[in-house]
Amino acid sequence: MEVYRSDPPTRRTTDRIKVGIADLAVGDRESRLSTSGLGSCVGIALHDADAGISGLAHAMLPAGEGKSDEAKYVDTALHALVAKMEGEGASRRRIRAKLAGGSTMFEFDSTNESVGERNVTAARQTLAVLDIPLDAEDVGGEHGRSLELDGETGDLHVRSASAGEHTL
């Protein structure tokens, strides 16, 4: 299986694929896709259990239509990730999603939504447009997260220094 990358490059070490900030990757059943440093960014985990194909995106901002760095933006990252998964044999009708991140890391004097809240909203909306069910999420709060997606089971392991560890 080819590991799909965006810039900065995704690193694969044996069965572990590290996904950087503004990055995405696709893996198979033997893969464990991981990312860290999720504050206001969102991690979007996709899994097709029948095909054994998983994908993980670490997106920074909500909307990037027309921009060249597709993995940086929630909407374009999701479209690209689904296309790459379908290229490896996944079926959109079988793909399931899990979402984490979208924290409010800093206080600003504004009545507008934080970047984290806007990222979560963009992820939910784009998943709805793609008709991909959102099975679980761990979003919001004021803490960072690290994620690891198990390519065999589709389990998303979420770790946070302040909120502990759990599995979605």
Q: Which two tokens stand for residue 85?
A: 């998964």
H or E element at residue 23 = strand 23-27
- Give the start-to-end residue ranges of the domains of the chain: 11-163
CATH class of 11-163: alpha beta
pLDDT in tens, the chain (168 residues): 444 445 444 544 458 999 999 999 999 999 999 999 999 999 999 999 999 999 999 999 999 777 778 999 999 999 999 999 999 999 999 999 999 999 987 665 555 788 999 999 999 999 999 999 999 999 999 999 999 999 999 999 999 988 889 999
pTM: 0.88
What is the spatial distance between Cα 148 and Cα 114, in angstroms, rounded to a whole number?
25
pLDDT of residue 9: 46
pLDDT at 107: 63
pLDDT of residue 65: 72
Q: Where are the alpha helices (DSSP H) in 9-159?
A: 74-87, 115-129
- How far is residue 95's CA from residue 45's CA, in Å, rounded to a whole number? 10
Distances (CA, A) of 158 to 51, 132, 165: 24, 21, 6
pLDDT of the residue at 14: 56
The DSSP call for residue 8 is S
- Residues identified as active-site: 41
Print the SS3 string covering 88-121. Answer: CCCCHHHCEEEEEECCCCCCCCCCCCCHHHHHHH
Give the burial class of 123: count Cβ atoms within 10 A of its Cβ; 0-12 exposed, 13-18 middle, 19 or more buried: buried
Instruction: Kindly report the length of the chain.
Output: 168
Question: For residue 94, what are the contacts with CB-CB under 8 A and spacing of at least 6?
Answer: 48, 49, 50, 51
The residue type found at 107 is E
Separation CA 23–CA 10 (nearest Å): 7
* Burial tier of 168 (Cβ tally within 10 Å: 0-12, 13-18, 19+): middle
